[in-house]
């Protein structure tokens, strides 16, 4: 969304100065949640920086602030809007910051898969959706006894679902789904892929499977390949390689560890001084960790940027804070009541799982 010229014409110095002023003026009335992939000009104004699970928890716990400003992508802000109290307002500085992977499943497509697999397995099935999905897909999961998960707790939620039912349908990240199922000890032949363009073929493939994963992917994390792992190991003998579980299974298996963005932040902090670490995730986080830990060698597995996250910047953050101060908050995130009710059931099951 185009910002008015009164903002775009400002120098960066002026924007940062006005941000300091606006932040101070809003005080405890406003809480700024910032995802790890945001640029430094934004993270410096964060009240909390975190992965999507930590930010969901924070949104649910905020009691004081009337306004929650979410610097991340659409589905994260939507989740915050469903978890906070009704007297609070969630705003996103740039509403076009939309995760392409979340857009790879619609509620209608999800319903087709759910109906077909439910009748195939006579109801012995639970749905789980990655947080990276829209509220209507979360609501489908909530309505059918399922849950939301993030990259930090996917394995735990998969175990939770498979302890109750024989089968699990997971939206929309094929790779996080496969990595989580394999980590739980499932065999590759127990995992099938659901292609929304081919429901007949997908249903046929699902015979014999226990976990069906949606054919969606993150272009930021599928950019990493085995050749990148080989190259960094060759360039830095003895280097430890850690990646986000949205990477393809062969990359996760060739690495030394995989986990959410918070796991990667911890891996950098805990690496011994003088050691070398390659990180397979979004470049803003890797660059920040390299700058924060100069006593270690921290390199990106490859350079990969999330354009959706990059849409949030200090300019639209300033416009958002000043809109609150002017009494007309802009880009308020709203979710239709019935959808929010059912999506919340799925979110609460995730938060209760720990």
Binding site for ligand SF4 (CB under 6 A): 73, 99-101, 132, 218, 220, 246, 282, 306, 308-309
**Contacted entry of ligand 13P, ligand SF4, none for residue 74, CB cut-off 5 to 8 Å set by kind:** none
Q: Are 309 and 96 in contact (CB under 8 A)?
A: no
The least distance separating ligand 13P from the CB of residue 50, rounded to whole angstroms, comes to: 7
Contacts of 253 (CB under 8 A, 6+ apart): none
The least distance separating ligand 13P from the CB of residue 152, rounded to whole angstroms, comes to: 6
Distance CA 49, CA 89 (A): 19
Site for ligand 13P in 40-69 (CB under 6 A): 51-52
Exactly one of 56, 255, 260, 344 binds ligand 13P (CB under 6 A); which one?
260
151 binding ligand 13P? (CB under 6 A): yes
The stretch among 146-154, 192-200, 297-305, 325-333 that binds ligand 13P (CB under 6 A) is 146-154
Site for ligand 13P in 204-243 (CB under 6 A): 218
Indicate the residue among 22 and 176 with the shorter CB distance to ligand SF4.
176
Distance CA 254, CA 86 (A): 46
Q: Are 144 and 161 in contact (CB under 8 A)?
A: no
Indicate the residue among 206 and 278 with the shorter CB distance to ligand 13P.
278
Total residues in contact with ligand 13P, by rule CB under 6 A: 11
Q: How far apart are the first and last CA of the chain?
A: 37
38 binding ligand 13P? (CB under 6 A): no
Q: Are strands 125-130 and 167-171 parallel, antiparallel or unpaired?
A: parallel
Sole residue written with tokens 């099935």: 125
The least distance separating ligand SF4 from the CB of residue 165, rounded to whole angstroms, comes to: 27
Distance CA 124, CA 199 (A): 19
Distance CA 236, CA 274 (A): 12
The least distance separating ligand SF4 from the CB of residue 98, rounded to whole angstroms, comes to: 9
**Contacted entry of ligand SF4, ligand 13P, none for residue 151, CB cut-off 5 to 8 Å set by kind:** ligand 13P
Structural tokens at position 249: 């299974």
Indicate the residue among 240 and 244 with the shorter CB distance to ligand 13P.
244
Exactly one of 74, 94, 246, 322 binds ligand 13P (CB under 6 A); which one?
246
b/e map 123-155, b = 16+ CB within 10 Å: eebbbbbbbbbbbbbbbbbbbbebbbbbbbbbb
Instruction: List residues binding ligand 13P (CB under 6 A).
Output: 51-52, 132, 150-152, 218, 244, 246, 260-261
């Amino acid at each position: 969304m185009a910002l008015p010229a009164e903002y775009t014409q400002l120098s960066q110095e002026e924007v940062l100065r006005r941000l300091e002023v606006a932040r101070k003026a809003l005080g405890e009335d406003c809480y700024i949640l910032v995802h790890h992939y945001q640029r430094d000009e934004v993270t410096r104004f964060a009240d909390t920086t975190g992965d999507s699970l930590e930010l969901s928890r924070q949104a649910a716990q905020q009691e004081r602030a009337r306004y929650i400003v979410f610097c991340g992508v659409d589905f994260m802000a939507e989740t915050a809007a469903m978890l906070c109290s009704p007297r609070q307002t969630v705003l996103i500085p740039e509403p076009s910051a939309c995760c392409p992977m979340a857009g790879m499943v619609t509620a209608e497509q999800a319903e087709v898969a759910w109906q077909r697999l439910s009748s195939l397995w006579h109801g012995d099935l639970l749905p789980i959706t990655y947080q990276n999905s829209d509220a209507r897909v979360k609501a489908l999961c909530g309505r059918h006894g399922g849950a939301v998960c993030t990259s930090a707790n996917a394995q735990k939620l998969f175990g939770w679902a498979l302890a109750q039912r024989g089968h699990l349908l997971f939206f929309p990240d094929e790779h996080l789904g496969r990595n989580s199922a394999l980590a739980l000890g499932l065999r590759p032949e127990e995992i099938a892929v659901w292609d929304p363009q081919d429901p007949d073929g997908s249903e046929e493939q699902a015979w014999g499977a226990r976990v069906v994963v949606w054919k969606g992917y993150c272009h930021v994390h599928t950019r990493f390949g085995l050749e990148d792992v080989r190259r960094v190991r060759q360039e830095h003998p003895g280097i430890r390689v850690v990646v986000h579980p949205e990477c393809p299974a062969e990359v996760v298996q060739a690495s030394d560890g995989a986990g959410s963005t918070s796991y990667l932040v911890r891996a950098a902090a805990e690496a011994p001084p003088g050691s070398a670490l390659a990180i397979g995730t979004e470049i803003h986080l890797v660059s920040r960790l390299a700058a924060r830990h100069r006593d270690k060698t921290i390199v990106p597995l490859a350079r990969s940027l999330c354009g959706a996250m990059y849409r949030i910047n200090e300019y639209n953050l300033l416009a958002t804070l000043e809109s609150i101060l002017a009494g007309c908050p802009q880009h308020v995130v709203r979710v239709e009541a019935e959808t929010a009710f059912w999506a919340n059931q799925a979110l609460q099951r995730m938060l209760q799982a720990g």
